[in-house]
Chains A and B, each alone.
Chain A
Amino acid sequence: MRKEGLDINNDIITVVFIACLFFALIVSFLIFFVVLYNRRQARNRREKADLQSHYKQELLKTQIEVQDQTLSYISREIHDNITQVLSFVKLSLGVKTADPEQNRAKINESRELLAQAINDLRDLSKSLSFDSIKAMGLTNTLEREIKRINNSGLITVTLQVDGEAYTLGEKRELVIFRIFQESVNNALKHANAKQMKVELLYSEKVFNLTISDNGEGFDTRILNDFEGSGLNNMLNRAKLIGAKANIESAVGKGCRISLTLDEVIQQIYADGTY
């Protein structure tokens, strides 16, 4: 009798031990899971912060590039146009003639030239405001820029806007404008293109931009060898604003750059910071 009672006691201890072990196992599994989750979360947060600071830097660079290009255009314009006109006026006013009739004609001509210089300066001062994208929006800024390019006579650019334009957000529009600028640069510098076409499509869910030139084109495989060049910057920045960009070109076929912002891709970026 005694012996059996002892056995049962021992058995109960074993059972309690097994039960405790079992619970310890489950609880440690849960604790392990919670720790793992929190660690992952911390890592994700860090990665996101890195990504955001990278995004900010890239935006800043984009802004500086846009400003750079505007400034170089302005300095060229001042040098090629306004300085020329003003020098001419200065010269022509410096030459004295006895004939009052001739003097009056000269003065009139100088006044007209001065008026033109004032006009040019006024236009330039408008270009100087770097915030034009913020103030006027993408389509208006593009329109003005294209008009200016066409006036230069280097290349003919046509702009086509389909759908009712809406704002894409200042940062996205800045990046898109920079992509346009770089495309024009490339078309002039590498392609010897005479014509460019810029098409914007605003549909309810999708925004699409296509820039094509009729120049010499190139083998897109070379893009893998370039690091941080204009075209690769385009692709990277498009990704940063949550867009899909595509560069199509072949020797003799011109070059076509397209960029798409659609709702599905944007969902990932819909946290307000983009």
Chain B
Amino acid sequence: MMQELKRLEADYIVYMLLLLFTAIISMIRYKRLTPAFKVTAILMPITFVDETVAKVLARTVHNNLICSHILRLFEFTLVSLTYYHFLEDERIKKVIRVLIPVYCFFVILNAVYIQRGKFASNSILIGLIAFIVYAILSYKQLILTSEEKSLTMQPIFWNSTAWLLFGSTVFLKFGLQNYFVAHHINQDILYDLLTYMNILLYSLILVAILIDKNEKRRFGYQ
């Protein structure tokens, strides 16, 4: 039991250190980022602060679930804006413009009425559906635009892969959780999975923020 606790703590410390590191890198590199990743860069310190506050609340008042609701507002808005900058299709941009306020309204509604005092699973799942769709749309755009850069040098590829993997795993986790509960199976493995996926998520976003560079195309008649 003690050992298991220790292991969980170690995962958590790795996660928080990674988040802190990503937040610091985001702030250092902020000026050199493209508009799309400037937005994601802002999300990193916010996430770190939110997670820290969540930990403090858990230790003091033993209920930090409000943090999960509040983070959704920032996360959805900023991730959507990242793709708003990246995706070029005007119709998609229009949809994103509408989606942000609608989603935020839903998060507040959910936090006040539907899942008051509970984990914000509704908001998370709905938000992640949007992120998975963004990821797939960005893959499509990468394929269709004839960039000469290799895929590994495209920050949006890492960012989209991060959200795609994370998003689908979270869905898997919630699906399996219902099953585990129904069959009285120990859920530890699921929480471990989620922590690892969180670590993967922020590692990939860190890669994206590290390789993103705002190069304005210079132009001249030779």
Query: Does A33 sit within 8 A of B, measured CB to CB?
Result: yes
With A30-B161, A41-B150 as known contacts, state yes or no: A15 contacts B143, CB within 8 Å: no
CB-defined contacts of A36 to chain B, threshold 8 Å:
143
Contact string against A for B residues 161-173, beta-carbon threshold 8 Å, 1 for contact and 0 otherwise: 1001100100010
Q: For chain B, which range describes its interface: under 10, 10 to 19, 20 to 34, or 35 or more residues? A: 20 to 34
Query: Does B191 sit within 8 A of A, measured CB to CB?
Result: no
Max count, chain B CB within 10 A of own CB: residue among A15, A167, A266: A15
Q: Count A-B contacts at CB 8 Å.
A: 60
Contact of B221 with A167 in the complex, beta carbons under 8 Å? yes
Q: Kindly provide the distance from the CB of B143 to the nearest chain A CB, expressed in whole angstroms.
A: 6
Contact of A44 with B146 in the complex, beta carbons under 8 Å? yes
CB-defined contacts of B142 to chain A, threshold 8 Å:
37
Q: Kindly provide the distance from the CB of B123 to the nearest chain A CB, expressed in whole angstroms.
A: 23
Task: Give the number of chain A interface residues (Cβ < 8 Å).
Answer: 30
CB-defined contacts of B218 to chain A, threshold 8 Å:
270
Q: Kindly provide the distance from the CB of B135 to the nearest chain A CB, expressed in whole angstroms.
A: 10
Looking at chain A's contact residues, the main secondary structure is helix
Contact of A169 with B146 in the complex, beta carbons under 8 Å? no
CB-defined contacts of B176 to chain A, threshold 8 Å:
15, 19
| Residue ID in chain B nearest A274 by CB atoms | B222
Contact of B183 with A44 in the complex, beta carbons under 8 Å? no
Contact of A8 with B219 in the complex, beta carbons under 8 Å? no
CB-defined contacts of A207 to chain B, threshold 8 Å:
221
CB-defined contacts of A161 to chain B, threshold 8 Å:
none
CB-defined contacts of A45 to chain B, threshold 8 Å:
148
Residues of chain A at the chain B interface (Cβ within 8 Å): 8, 11-12, 15, 19, 22, 26, 30, 33-34, 36-38, 40-41, 44-45, 166-170, 172, 207, 261, 263, 266-267, 270, 272
